[in-house]
Amino acid sequence: MAPSNPGTALITGATAGIGATFAHHLARAGQDLVLVARDGERLDAVAAELTGRHSIKATTLVADLTTDEGLAAVERVLREQRIDLLVNNAGLSLNKSFLRSTLEEEMQLMRLNVLAVLHLTDAALPAMLARGSGEIINVSSVSGFAATMPGSTYPASKAWVTSFSEAVGMASRSRGVRVMALCPGFTRTEFHQRAGISTGKMPDFLWLQADDVVEAALRDLRKGKLVSVPSVRYKVAVTALKLTPRSLLHRFSARGASRLGRTVGDSQ
């Protein structure tokens, strides 16, 4: 599906999972790319593949968004180059409860899941608003709609991303700029393996394919939605999360975590 704005897209976390899938979809539609990740070798391989297959321009930027230096490097690109679509995809989850994690681990999660989204959105918006066009997709999660993972701070970080994106989207759309939170459920990517989260006990019907998630995101962005929840089953789940009394939801969440043999989960 083609992006609604031609030009260049910048994607963080672009070498794997949903980020890599965005890169493939946008390159196939003829959009030039700026690919951001920590692994320069993988970045170069993805860029070479996309350039060779789709005849687009794909440049790379090695940056660790949990550091001030990495954030500043990407912010410079967003301020100095024309970027028509920003995809804030990079994120992480801790495979442990807040009761067992360290403050430094929690701060790293916050720096990537929250502060990077804040900084890069702030860097991209002024030029978009000035020219009256531009789009931002902030990848959030269905888990952000309720505290369904006992001990995990990941849902809290994603709740912020969703609320922030929705608020900024409401303020920006009258000026021609679209900002949307993408809230997928469980999606088959490398995310869980990198976080050390076991997925073997999750029922197959809960899983989404990254291609379907990205297609739904681009379709909803074109429609001007502020929040995108891919698939009917997760739309129903979000409605249920919003309507279920908190006391009942907490009871079911605790039982579910115990039954799955884990204290922390993830919904991307």
Q: pLDDT for 176-231, tens place per residue?
A: 999 999 999 887 766 545 545 545 566 665 779 999 999 999 999 999 999 999 98
Q: For residue 146, give the CATH number of its domain.
A: 3.40.50.720
In a domain, 236, yes or no: yes
pLDDT at position 242: 79
Q: What's the pTM value of the predicted model, to 2 decimals?
A: 0.86
Distance set, CA 81 to CA 55, 127, 134 (Å): 20, 9, 13
In a domain, 186, yes or no: yes
In a domain, 84, yes or no: yes
Q: Return the number of other C-beta atoms located less than 10 Å from residue 15's C-beta.
A: 23
In a domain, 268, yes or no: no
What are all long-range contacts of 163-171, with beta carbons under 8 Å and residues at least 24 apart?
164/117, 164/118, 164/121, 164/138, 165/136, 165/138, 165/140, 165/226, 165/227, 166/226, 166/227, 168/121, 168/125, 168/136, 169/226, 170/226
pLDDT at position 72: 98
Structurally, the chain folds into a number of domains equal to 1
In a domain, 265, yes or no: no
As a whole number of angstroms, the distance between CA 64 and CA 225 comes to 30
In a domain, 40, yes or no: yes
Q: Going along 162-266, which residue ranges are E strands?
A: 177-182, 227-228
In a domain, 1, yes or no: no
In a domain, 266, yes or no: no
> What residue ranges of the chain have pLDDT lower than 70?
1-6, 189-205, 249-268
What is the domain range of residue 26?
A: 8-260
**Which residues form the catalytic set?**
154
